[in-house]
């Protein structure tokens, strides 16, 4: 009780003490939003939910229990060993009327099927145009046949600490969630990648917000929400956003080439401290000290040496060493740039022709997971013979045809899975592949969609598949 009383008395004293003068204001009103309502209503239609699935092939044949064995009845309960699906959820945002969508690479990496869902429920299968693991950025494309709502880029270099920002995303699958806060810090390096330069905010960001936009008060995208610091796994008010200037540069390259094409100097650098700034006769620490020069690289060809301190690159002052990597990466390949540096306490200058950084290509991922096409709804199927039933452990009560492939661009993608058993078309039983094709094609001629009864490991689901337009 004594401890509680002492705490209460101390707290009362603090509460009644005169506050600092800085907390009082008789000047103009503080610049802060009264409400985020208008921004949320205007911007939410361009923020999408991204769901992905990855077919995991598991061609493991389980042992068959012999007939008459007490365990024979379990033969049908080990079915569907193939076609298991790993799923993930994230966010994204539309960046133009043609259907280009930006999101995080880690949201879509390894996916066989990528689905985009708008707040109004419209759903599309997306094409992966390209991805960049270094900045954790990916670019998708959907075809809607109509113009769709999109958002504009902000200049992230102008975002300042203390400014209001707002996020829209799909945390834990709750679509269209709006959260707000302020920019907490700039230029954060969290060892996420080579080009770390994150904006830190206290906006509530959780699992599922990844790839979603962070807006300024003009309603422009100041960055892409990418990571959080959280001992608990949920938001604790420390989130990290990839600046829009970085994201925009990457998606432009992905749209044009399907991969990134970054500049390269062939140097390693370190930051300038207060102590070694004096050695270079600088009044304050800034720039990048070259610690290593790659043989026959652009920097060596231009005459730079280990120990040189670069202060300006292409007319821009380097406030910190990491600025150099970001500026070089965004330089056009083959461009000649002016570099100012210090050697032996004397300012010098040179010109460097930027070469292309050699990176592992991600182009091959564009076709990953594409399945064979079928004349019926973009679904490839096979008869359920005794051998097929035994190999894939299809339950004994499952009748119909087994799904072996799904055209990535079909309306069935994102709904059906490899290994599903189609038992009915428009409430009529299916006998074999030929029966499925004829009934599906007949149903397409009669209506805009075809209803299928799916047996997925003993669970029954109805799906309406729209005919191909």
State the average pLDDT over residues 202-230: 94
pLDDT for residue 378 is more than 90:
no
- Write the burial class of residue 422 (CB in 10 Å: 0-12 exposed, 13-18 middle, 19+ buried): buried
pLDDT for residue 127 is more than 50:
yes
Give φ, ψ of 114 to 5 degrees: -120, 120
Using DSSP's 3-state secondary structure scheme, residue 101 falls into: strand
Pairing between β-strand 267-271 and β-strand 263-264 as defined by DSSP bridges:
unpaired
State the average pLDDT over residues 396-408: 84
CA 327, 331, 334 angle in degrees (round to 5)?
145
pLDDT digits (tens, 9 = 90+) for 289-336: 999 999 999 999 999 999 999 999 999 999 989 899 989 998 999 999
Using DSSP's 3-state secondary structure scheme, residue 322 falls into: helix
- Specify the higher pLDDT residue, 360 or 469: 360
Reduced DSSP (H G I as helix, E B as strand, rest coil) percent helix, strand, coil of the chain, to 5: 20, 35, 45
Contacts of 348 (CB under 8 A, 6+ apart): 340, 341, 342
For residue 61, what is the enclosing H or E element? none
Please, what are the domains in the chain? 33-260+359-366 (2.40.10.120), 263-355 (2.30.42.10), 370-466 (2.30.42.10)
Give me the pLDDT at residue 358, please.
87
pLDDT for residue 95 is more than 70:
yes
Looking at every residue in the chain, the average pLDDT score rounds to 83
pLDDT for residue 94 is more than 90:
yes
Closest CA to 180 of 222, 233, 151, 145: 222
State the average pLDDT over residues 16-31: 44
pLDDT for residue 5 is more than 50:
no
- The answer to whether 356 and 343 have CB atoms below 8 angstroms apart is no
State the average pLDDT over residues 428-442: 90
Give φ, ψ of 89 to 5 degrees: -125, 145
pLDDT digits (tens, 9 = 90+) for 251-283: 999 999 999 999 999 999 999 999 999 999 999
Annotated active-site positions, please? Answer: 106, 136, 210
For residue 428, what is the enclosing H or E element? strand 428-429
pLDDT for residue 406 is more than 80:
no
Of 208-212, 361-365, 415-419, 449-453, the least confident: 361-365
What is the rounded CA–CA span in Å between residue 252 and residue 258?
9
Give me the pLDDT at residue 63, please.
56
What is the rounded CA–CA span in Å between residue 72 and residue 65?
5
Closest CA to 298 of 337, 324, 261: 337
Buried b (16+ CB within 10 A) or exposed e, 247-264: bbbbbebbbeebbbebbb
- Specify the higher pLDDT residue, 60 or 261: 261
CA 353, 357, 361 angle in degrees (round to 5)?
150
State the average pLDDT over residues 333-348: 95
Give φ, ψ of 66 to 5 degrees: -70, 150
State the average pLDDT over residues 10-32: 44
Indicate the pTM of the whole model.
0.69
pLDDT for residue 399 is more than 60:
yes
């Amino acid at each position: 009780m004594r401890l509680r009383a002492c705490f209460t008395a101390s707290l009362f004293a603090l509460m009644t003490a005169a506050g600092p003068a800085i907390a009082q204001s008789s000047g103009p009103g503080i610049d802060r939003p009264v409400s985020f309502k208008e921004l949320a209503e205007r911007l939410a239609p361009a923020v999408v939910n991204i769901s992905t699935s990855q077919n995991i092939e598991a061609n493991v044949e389980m042992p068959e229990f012999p007939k008459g064995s007490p365990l024979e009845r379990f033969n049908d309960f080990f079915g569907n060993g193939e076609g298991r699906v790993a799923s993930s959820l994230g966010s994204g945002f539309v960046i133009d009327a043609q259907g280009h969508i930006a999101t995080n690479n880690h949201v879509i990496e390894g996916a066989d099927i990528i689905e985009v869902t708008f707040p109004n429920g419209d759903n599309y299968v997306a094409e992966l145009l390209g991805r960049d693991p270094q900045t954790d950025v990916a670019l998708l494309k959907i075809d809607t046949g109509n113009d769709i709502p999109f958002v504009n880029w902000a200049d992230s270099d102008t975002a300042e600490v203390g400014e209001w920002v707002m996020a829209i995303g799909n945390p834990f699958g709750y679509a269209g969630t709006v959260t707000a806060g302020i920019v907490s810090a700039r230029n954060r390096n969290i060892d996420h990648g080579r080009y770390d330069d994150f904006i830190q905010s206290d906006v509530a960001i959780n699992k599922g917000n990844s790839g979603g936009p962070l807006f300024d008060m003009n309603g422009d995208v100041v960055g892409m929400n990418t990571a959080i610091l959280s001992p608990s796994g949920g938001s604790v008010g420390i989130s990290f956003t990839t600046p829009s200037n970085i994201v925009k540069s990457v998606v432009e390259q992905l749209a044009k080439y399907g991969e990134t094409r970054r500049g390269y100097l062939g140097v390693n650098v370190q930051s300038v401290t207060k102590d070694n700034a004096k050695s270079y006769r600088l009044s304050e620490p800034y720039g990048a000290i070259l610690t290593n020069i790659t043989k026959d690289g652009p920097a060596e060809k231009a005459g730079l040496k280990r120990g040189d301190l670069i202060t300006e690159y292409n007319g821009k002052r380097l406030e910190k060493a990491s600025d150099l990597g970001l500026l070089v990466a965004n330089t056009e390949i083959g461009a000649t740039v002016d570099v100012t540096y210090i050697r032996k306490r004397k300012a010098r200058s040179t010109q460097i022709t930027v070469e292309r950084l050699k990176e592992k290509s991600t182009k091959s991922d564009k076709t990953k997971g594409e399945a064979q096409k079928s004349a019926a709804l973009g679904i490839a199927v096979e008869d359920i013979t005794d051998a097929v039933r035994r190999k894939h452990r299809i339950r004994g009560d499952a009748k119909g045809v087994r799904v072996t492939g799904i055209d990535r661009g079909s309306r069935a993608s994102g709904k059906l899975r490899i290994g599903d058993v189609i038992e009915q078309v428009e409430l009529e039983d299916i006998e074999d592949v030929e029966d499925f094709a004829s009934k599906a094609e007949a149903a397409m001629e009669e209506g805009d969609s075809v209803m299928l009864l799916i047996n997925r490991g003993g669970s029954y689901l109805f799906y309406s598949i729209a005919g191909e337009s």
